[in-house]
A = this chain, B = another copy of it.
Amino acid sequence: MSRADTYIDENMSRFREELFDFLRIPSVSANSENRPDMQRAAEWLVQRMREAGLQAAIHPTAGHPIVLGEWRGAGAGAPTVLIYGHYDVQPAEPLELWSSPPYEPEIRDGRIYARGSVDDKGQLYLHVKALESLLKAEGRLPVNVVLVAEGEEEIGSDNLVPFLEKMRDQLACDYVIVSDTTMVAPGVPTIGASLRGLAYFQIDVQGPAKDLHSGSYGGAVLNPATVLCRIVASFHDLDWHATIPGFYDKVRPATEVRDQIAQVPFEDETLREETGSPTLGGEAGYSTLERLWVRPTVEVNGLLSGFTGEGSKTVLPAHAMAKVSCRLVPDQDPVLVAKLFMEHIHRVAPKEGVTVTITPMHTGQAWRARLGGKLYEAAARSLEAAFGRKVVYAGEGGSIPIVSDFERVLGAPVLLMGFGLPGENAHAPDEWLDVDTFERGMHAAANLLAQLSA
């Protein structure tokens, strides 16, 4: 047990209290009324980084600021490690579904419940505290460190890539570490093998100029809600394969990940319970983990049209809207998929009677880890030491578009070392972070830097 490990254990209750302070700031990047909270969260973080022993500063962007921390004391001969996290959170709505208020963190059954606990404030903060522990216990870090905390991950990271490009020299590094993913099961240390990408659209169907009486006009004008449903229904066949021509062209066979999947302790029933679905279900011919890791999807994220209140109103809606997003897998080009998707919609939509508008909202490249090499070997050793169990390599269903951007702009390999757990409710009410995993993650983070210096 290193001196840093001892320091971590001795200071853990303070670290938790500090994390609670961080979680109390409603840093919702999507809401303009939370802009002052975003600034407050950034300032709070800078202060904690300085106390930890880093040089830290706020970098304004066109959107929310980026917080940059640095420690260069290991010298030019030592490797430089860039650690990335984000201090913004998803909106907490619907508030009535939270068991405790989203910005009043509370520990129940060994879990910290709060918006942002696992996504991503807790995972970001364990790195800050790992660095503090190394610096206070050893007087130095084993490597040079750059810590980048952005405030726009939940709204598309629009200003991060320009920042990386502008600061390319200052951010030059050998390795990138990202802790914003989940482990496959409690106690099973997990390294991310892939991420899905994203192409998000809004579809608007405009029919009559205003809502009409469905009796007086029904049958004589196209109903935009019916048309919208027809468009959405055209995205899949009866086996839930996507029907957009060309959609699967670049998708590699799922058999490639069957060995990795075999190592993962996973049962469908656990996931089913976690989701509360009557049964799991999805694309025919694939297992659940294949569906999540290496199969692209087309999902409806939202629908709105006409009368949605209680009771009945016989309205023929003027307008219908769907939010739709594709989760993409490595080798699919989001821009090409967006093009195929829009072509498909225009092909199936009625040629007259309604106006169909497709608004691309954002895209993100999927990513596949190049497993092996010093970064991955060091990560496996430090995770195995912290968790006392062999690591597994797991695909991640979600998207972190900036992972590809880090590799592209900085030319360094990225490691996904996440400390979330299944059922953590990221992006949903009752988000939580497991306390034990938070602590082990901190030990792993500290140890990884030592491993990378060797």
Contact = CB atoms under 8 A, between A and B. Distances in A.
Interface of A: 30, 90-91, 97, 155-156, 182, 196, 198, 200, 202, 207-223, 225-226, 228-230, 232-236, 240, 271, 275-283, 288, 291-292, 295, 297-308, 311-318, 320-323, 325, 327, 350, 352-355, 361-362, 396-399, 425-429
15 contacts: A30-B313, A214-B297, A218-B299, A222-B277, A225-B300, A228-B303, A229-B230, A230-B236, A277-B354, A281-B352, A302-B315, A303-B304, A311-B361, A312-B361, A314-B398
A102 to B, nearest CB: 14
Contacts of A397: 213, 215-220
Nearest to A272: B221
Contact of A215 (B217, B228, B327): B327
Contacts of A316: 299, 301
Nearest to A202: B312
A279 B352 CA distance: 6
A317 B399 CA distance: 18
Tell me the number of copies of this protein: 2
A143 B341 CA distance: 68
Given A235-B226, A301-B307, A361-B312, A292 B219 contact: yes
A88 to B, nearest CB: 14
A190 B278 CA distance: 54
A182 B355 CA distance: 29
Contact of A229 (B182, B271, B300): B300
B301 A304 contact: no
**Interface-centre pick from A207, A281, A354 (highest chain B CB count, 10 A):** A281
A314 B292 contact: no
Contacts of A313: 30, 90-91, 301-302, 323, 427
A312 B301 contact: yes
Contacts of A307: 301-302, 323
A325 B312 contact: yes
Contacts of A235: 226
Contacts of A225: 232, 300-303, 322
A320 B303 contact: yes
B428 A226 contact: no
A221 B280 CA distance: 5
